[in-house]
Structure 1
Amino acid sequence: MLKFQNKVILVTGSGTGIGQTVAKLFAENGASIIILGRRKEPLEDTKKILDEIINRVKSNAKVWLFPGVDVSDELGVSQMYDSLQKDGVFVDVVVNNAGVSGPVTCFPNSPLDEFKSAVGIHLTGTFWTSVQALKVMRPGAKIITISTFFTEEKPYEQRPYRFRSPYTAAQGAKNRLAESMSWELVEKGIVSIATNPGPVHSDRIYKTVYPKAAAEFLRVSGFEDLSPSEVEIANKDIVGLLGEDEKTTKDGIAKAADAVLKVKGGDAQKIAQTLTKLLAKIQEIAEKVQKNTSFMIADRQFLSQTQVAQTVLTLADDDIAKILNGKIIPGDRVFYPVKPHIATNTPTTQPSFAAEVVVFAIDATDKQDSDRAEFLAQHVEKNGGKAVCFISKETPKELQESISSKFHSHVINFKSQEEVQRWLNTAKTVGKLSTLVYLTGKVPSDLKIINLSRKDWDDLVDKFINTPATVIQTALETFVPGGKKDPRLYKGAKATIVTIGPDVPSGPKVSGADRARVEVFRGALRPFATTVNQELSDVLKSNVRAFLVLPGSIDGKDSDNAKIANALNYFVTDGSRRSSEVTFCVDETRD
C-alpha cells in the first residue's frame, strides 16, 4: 500500500507552483486530493495531471476540484467545506499554501487596499481555511502551513523584507497562528505545524518579486531625468518585459514611453532610450538581489518546489507530526545577517516635549489601556508638550469619556484614511506636530482562535494590523507631505511614530495557549515595524522612525507605564535614530 493510500489531502493555491507540486507528490503516494484556487484553467490542468498520476500508481484515489475559491473569501471557503461534509468526505491533511506577492513598494507608497488584500489571503485565508476544515477533520488530522523564512526571528533580531510590509506582517502572524492553533487543537487530536522553506525557485520570485523590488529601488530616487512618479508610470509597463523577445520588449517600451510622454512631455524617442536603460538596470539589480540571497545559503542553492513538497509530505507523517506539533520547520536554513532590531529597554533620557504636539491614537480594549493612554498624555503635558487624543470609535464609551474629560480629544473612525488625515491636519494647526503614539489595546482574553466567527477574526486583524497600518501610513504622509509620490522628500525629514501593544497576558497563571494567542498579533507587528524602518533609514535615508513597544513580560507581571514613558522620551531624540533597534520589550529584564 502507498504511504497515503486512503488519505484525503486539501491543498490551497494548487493550480500552479508549489501547491501543484505538493498535490502531485501526495497523489504519487496514493492520496486523494482536493484542489482549489481562484483561476479555473490552472486547476483543470492540475486535475488532468493528478488523474494521470492516480491511474499510473493504481491508487483508486479521487480528485475534487473547487475553482473560483479565494481563500480569503468567507463564503467560498465555507461552502466548499459544507459540500465536502455533505458528501461525507473527511480531510486528513490541510496544506495552507495559497499566497500572493502583494504590493512590492515602500510602505508609504503601498496602496492600502492591496495591503489588506495581501493580509487577507496570507493570514485570514490560513485562519479560515484551517478552522472551517475542522468540520471535516477527525483525530489524527494535520494542518500544515507554508510560510516564509523572512519572519522567523532570533533573539534581538528580526528579518526585515524591504518593500514587502504587508507580506511580512501577514507571514509573521501566520507562523504564530500555527503555534497558537497547536495549543487549541490538542483536545481534538489535530496537529498544527508550519514550515519556512527559505528561497524557492519560482516564477513569482524571478518574474515578479525581484524585478518589482529592483524597480522600486529605482523609483525611490528617480532615474536619469525621470522623476519617481514618472518611473512608477513606466515600471507598470516595463517590469513584465524581462525575459521577453526583442519585438515584445521594443513594443512594451514604446507603450511605456507614450504613457510617460503624456505626463512629462518631451521627445518620445529620447524617453524610449531612457526606458531601455531603466529596464536593463532593473534586470541588473534583480539578478544581484538573487545572487546576494544565494550567498546566505550554505550550498548557495534555492530549494526546488519538489523539495518543499517533500518537506510537507514528511511533516504529514503521523509520527513526525506528533513530534513537531506547534513547531516552525526548519528554524533557519538561511543565514540572514542583520543588525539587532529588538531590545528589552531604552536608555534613560530626559523628557523633551517643549512646544511639541503629540497625537495619541487610542484604540483601548479596557480601562488598563485607557489608564496607560492618560498616563502617557499627562507625561507629555507635564514636560511642556500638548497632548491631542484621537480615540477610536471602537473604544468602549465609558473609556472615551474618561480620556475626553482630561485632554483635547476627538472620537474618529481609524479605518477611514481620509478622516484620520483630516484630523491630523487639524492637529498641525495647534502647534509643531512630529510625534504620533498609537495604542492598539489588548487582545481579549476570553476567546479561542479556533472558535472565532469570521467577523470576530476580521475585527482582530483590523485592530492589530490593518488599522495601525492605515493610521501609520497617514501619519507618514502628514509628516512628509507628498512623500508618497516623491520619496526624495523623506531624505533628512524627522518625525516619530510609536506603536504600543498588545500586552503579554498578565497574572500568576497565564497559560501557554493565552500567550500564543497574543503572539499572533505581536508576531505581525514585529516584522512590520522592522521592515518599515529599514525602508525609512536605508532606502529613503530618512530620520523618520516608526518604533514598536510590546508591553508585558514572560513572568506575567503587569506592564510599567513609567518604562513606556521613558521609551517615549528616548524615541524623540536623535540618538534613537542612529540605532538599529526599533522594537522594545520594555518590561523584560533578560540580557
Structure 2
Amino acid sequence: MLKFQDKVALVTGSGTGIGKAIATKFVENGASVIILGRRKEPLQEAATELEGKIPQGVNATVKIFAGVDVADETAMNEMFDTLKNEGTNVDYIINNAGVSGPVTCFANAPLDEFKSTIGIHLTGTFWGSVQALKVMKEGGKIITISTFFTEERPLEQRPYRFRSPYTASQGAKNRLAEAMSWELTDKGIISIATNPGPVHSDRIYKTVYPKAAAEFMRVSGFEDLSPVEVEEAKDDLLECILADGVDKEGIAKTAEKLANGRDVAKLTETFTKLLEQIQKLAGKIQNNTSHMIADQEFLKQTQVAESVLNLCDDKIAEILNGKVIPGDRVFYPVRPHIGTTTPGVHQPDFAGKAVIFTVDATDKADSERVEFLADHVEKNGGKVACFISKTTPTEIQEQISGKFHSHVVDITNPEEVERWLNTAKTNIGEVLAVIHTTGKLPEVGKLTELTRAGWDELVAKFIVTPATVAQRALEQFVPGGGKDPRLYKDAKGAIMIIGPDLPVGRKTTGTQRAQVEVFRGALRPFTTTVNQELSDVLKSKIRMFSVFPGTVTGGEPNNERIADAINFLVSDSAASSAEVTFCVDESR
C-alpha cells in the first residue's frame, strides 16, 4: 500500500508551480487531491496530468475548484461547504497560494495592492485553515509554505527590499502556523510552516528578479528617462523578454505608446538598452542569492514537494508540530535589526516642531500611554496633535481629546490621513515625527474561532493601518517622493509604530503570546524592509522604528522606555542605526 493511499490532500494555488508539484507527489503516493486556483485552464491541464499519474489499482481522484481566490471569503466558504456536504474528509491542507505583490519601494507601492497581497498570503492562509476544520478530523495536518526572508535569527530580522507587503504577510504566516498549533491541540490537528528558501520557478525568474531590477533602475535613473517614464514602461518591457532574446517589435510598440512627442526611434533605442540593463541586473541578483547557498543551487519544485510530504508523515509531524522549518539553506548576512532598549541620547528640544500621534487604542492603558508620550513631547517644547481612530472606544477618545489637540478621524483612509497631516503641518508647524499606536490585541479566545469580519478587523488594525499611516507620513516628509525617488536623498523624518503589547500577568499562556506574535511577526520584517529601502536604496535619513512593549514573562510595560525610544528616533544617531525594532522592556 502506498504511503498516502486512501488519504485526501487539498493544495491551494495548485494549477502551476510548486502547488502543482506538491499535488503530483501526493497523487504518485496514492492520495486523492483537491486542486484550486483562480484560473480554470491551468487547473484543467493540471488535473489531466495528475489523473495520468494515479498509480494502477489505486482508487484515487482529482477534484477541481476553479475560480477560487483564497482571499475570497464566499468562494472559500462555498468550497468547504461543498466538501462537507459530500462527506469528504480532508487529511492534509497545504497553504501554498501566493502572489508576488508589488515589487517596488514601499513609498511607491499602491496600498490596494499592499492589502491584496496581505489578503492572499495571510488572510487566505488563515481563512483556508479555519474553513478546513469543517472537513478535518483528528490527525489532520495543516502545512503552510512561507519564506526564509522573514524568519529571525537572534537579534536579526531579514529585510527583502521592494517586497514590503510580501514580507509582512509571510512573517505573520510563520507566527500564525505557531499560534494554530497551540489552538488546535484539543482537536488533534497539527500545524507546521516550512520556509524552503529560493526555488526554481517562473515567478522568480520572470517576475520578481526582473521587477526588482527595474525598480533599481527607476530609483537610480537610466540615461534621460525620468523615474515616472521607467515606471510607465517597465511592465510592457518585461513582457518583451523572450527565452531566446527580446521582442524588438514589442519594445518599439512600447516606445511608440509612450513617446508623447519624443523621437520614437531614439526612445526605442533607449528602452532596448534599459531592458538589457534590467536583464543584466536581474541575473546579478539571482547570482548573488545563489552564492548565499552552500551548493549554490536553488531547490527544485519537486524537492519542495518531497519536503512537504515528509512533513505530512505522522511521526515527523508530531515531532515538528508548531515549528517553522527548515532553518533554511541560505546564509543571508545582515546587520542586527532587533534590539532591547534604545541607546541613550541627550534629551532633544522639540521646540517649534510637531509630533503627530495616530491612535488606535484598545483600552485605558493604551490611552494612558499616548497621554504620557504626548506630555513628554510638550514638556520638552514640542507641539502635539492626536488623530484618534473612529474605532477607538468613546471614553478613550474623550480622555485624550480632553488633554491634547485631537480629532477623531478614519485613519484607515489614506486620503484622510494625508489631509490631516497636511493640516497639522499648516497649523502647528514642521512635522518632526509621526507615532502610531496600534493598541493591544483584544481578548479573542482563539483566533481560529474568529468570524471572518473579526479576523479582517485585526489585520486592518495591526498591519494595514500602520502601513497606511507610515506611507502617508513618508509622503508628508517627501512630497512626491513615491513617484520621484530622487527627492528622498538626505530627507529627514521619523516614524514609530508602537505595539501590540505582549500580554501582562504571571499566568499568561503560550496561546496568548502566540496570538500577539502573529501581528508582531508582520511588523518586524515590514519595518526592516522599509528601512533598508529608505537608507540603502533611497539614501534618505528618514527612519521607521517598531517598538514592542511588554515581556515574554508577562512583565508590565514601562512607558518611560518608549519615551526614550522617541528621543532616540528623532536624534541624528537614529539615521545610522542598524537596529530598528526595539523590545524596550526585555533585558535579554
Note the 1:368-447 alignment, pairs <5 A.
Answer: 368-429=365-426, 430-447=428-445
1:164 counterpart residue number: 163
Shift of residue 353, structure 1, vs aligned partner = 1.1
1:506 counterpart residue number: 504
1:44 counterpart residue number: 44
Deviations 1:554-582 (A, max 9, x none): 12111100000001001001111111111
1:16 counterpart residue number: 16
Note the 1:175-254 alignment, pairs <5 A.
Answer: 175-244=174-243, 249-254=247-252
CA distance in 2, matches of 1:150, 1:470: 23
Contact map agreement 1:352 1:569 (CA 8 A) in 2: no
Are 2:22 and 1:26 equivalent residues in the alignment?
A: no
SS where residue 478 of structure 1 aligns? helix
CA distance in 1, matches of 2:548, 2:242: 45
CA distance in 2, matches of 1:447, 1:279: 53
Q: What one-letter code is carried by the residue in structure 1 that aligns with 2:93?
A: V
Segments of structure 1 that go 5 or more residues without pairing to the other structure are: none
SS where residue 266 of structure 1 aligns? coil
Q: What one-letter code is carried by the residue in structure 1 that aligns with 2:104?
A: T
CA distance in 2, matches of 1:351, 1:376: 14
1:533 counterpart residue number: 531
Shift of residue 245, structure 1, vs aligned partner = 5.4
**TM-score, normalised relative to structure 1:** 0.98
SS where residue 199 of structure 2 aligns? coil
Shift of residue 44, structure 1, vs aligned partner = 0.4
Contact map agreement 1:343 1:585 (CA 8 A) in 2: yes
CA distance in 2, matches of 1:499, 1:219: 28
Shift of residue 348, structure 1, vs aligned partner = 1.8
Deviations 1:326-353 (A, max 9, x none): 0011023210000011100112221321
CA distance in 2, matches of 1:7, 1:322: 18
Note the 1:415-494 alignment, pairs <5 A.
Answer: 415-429=412-426, 430-494=428-492
Contact map agreement 1:504 1:553 (CA 8 A) in 2: yes
Shift of residue 355, structure 1, vs aligned partner = 1.1
Q: What one-letter code is carried by the residue in structure 2 that aligns with 1:146?
A: I
Q: What one-letter code is carried by the residue in structure 2 that aligns with 1:230?
A: E
Deviations 1:69-98 (A, max 9, x none): 000000101100100000100000000000
CA distance in 2, matches of 1:380, 1:241: 54
1:5 counterpart residue number: 5
Contact map agreement 1:297 1:333 (CA 8 A) in 2: yes
1:296 counterpart residue number: 292
SS where residue 10 of structure 2 aligns? strand
Deviations 1:415-439 (A, max 9, x none): 1111111100000011111210000
CA distance in 1, matches of 2:285, 2:10: 34
1:362 counterpart residue number: 359
CA distance in 2, matches of 1:29, 1:285: 41
Q: What one-letter code is carried by the residue in structure 1 that aligns with 2:15?
A: G
2:310 counterpart residue number: 314
Deviations 1:239-291 (A, max 9, x none): 12222556x611221122123312xx321111111111100000010000000
Deviations 1:433-463 (A, max 9, x none): 1210000001112421110000000000000
Q: What one-letter code is carried by the residue in structure 2 that aligns with 1:368?
A: A
Q: What one-letter code is carried by the residue in structure 2 that aligns with 1:468?
A: P
CA distance in 2, matches of 1:221, 1:234: 15
Query: How many residues in Structure 1 have an aligned counterpart in Structure 2?
Result: 586
Contact map agreement 1:361 1:436 (CA 8 A) in 2: yes
Deviations 1:168-203 (A, max 9, x none): 000000000000000000000000000000000000
More displaced stretch, 206-215 vs 505-514 = 505-514
1:329 counterpart residue number: 325
SS where residue 386 of structure 2 aligns? strand
SS where residue 53 of structure 1 aligns? coil
The two structures, once aligned, show a CA RMSD in angstroms of 0.9
Contact map agreement 1:33 1:64 (CA 8 A) in 2: yes
Contact map agreement 1:160 1:531 (CA 8 A) in 2: yes
1:557 counterpart residue number: 555
SS where residue 76 of structure 2 aligns? helix
Contact map agreement 1:30 1:57 (CA 8 A) in 2: no
1:566 counterpart residue number: 564
SS where residue 175 of structure 2 aligns? helix
Contact map agreement 1:159 1:527 (CA 8 A) in 2: yes
Q: What one-letter code is carried by the residue in structure 2 that aligns with 1:435?
A: A
CA distance in 2, matches of 1:511, 1:151: 24
1:173 counterpart residue number: 172
SS where residue 314 of structure 1 aligns? helix
Contact map agreement 2:444 2:450 (CA 8 A) in 1: no
Runs of 4 or more, structure 1, over 4 Å off, are none
Contact map agreement 1:28 1:57 (CA 8 A) in 2: no
**Sequence identity of aligned pairs in percent?**
66
Deviations 1:529-569 (A, max 9, x none): 00000000000000011111011111211110000000100
CA distance in 1, matches of 2:494, 2:250: 42
CA distance in 1, matches of 2:240, 2:367: 53
Shift of residue 221, structure 1, vs aligned partner = 2.6
CA distance in 2, matches of 1:545, 1:136: 47
SS where residue 35 of structure 2 aligns? strand
Segments of structure 2 that go 5 or more residues without pairing to the other structure are: none
Q: What one-letter code is carried by the residue in structure 1 that aligns with 2:380?
A: N
1:128 counterpart residue number: 127
CA distance in 1, matches of 2:402, 2:296: 61
CA distance in 2, matches of 1:244, 1:416: 43
CA distance in 2, matches of 1:320, 1:167: 29
Deviations 1:500-537 (A, max 9, x none): 00001110111111100000000000000000000000
SS where residue 224 of structure 1 aligns? coil
CA distance in 1, matches of 2:582, 2:242: 44
Contact map agreement 2:348 2:571 (CA 8 A) in 1: no
Shift of residue 58, structure 1, vs aligned partner = 2.6
Shift of residue 28, structure 1, vs aligned partner = 0.4
2:268 counterpart residue number: 272
Shift of residue 354, structure 1, vs aligned partner = 1.5
**TM-score, normalised relative to structure 2:** 0.99
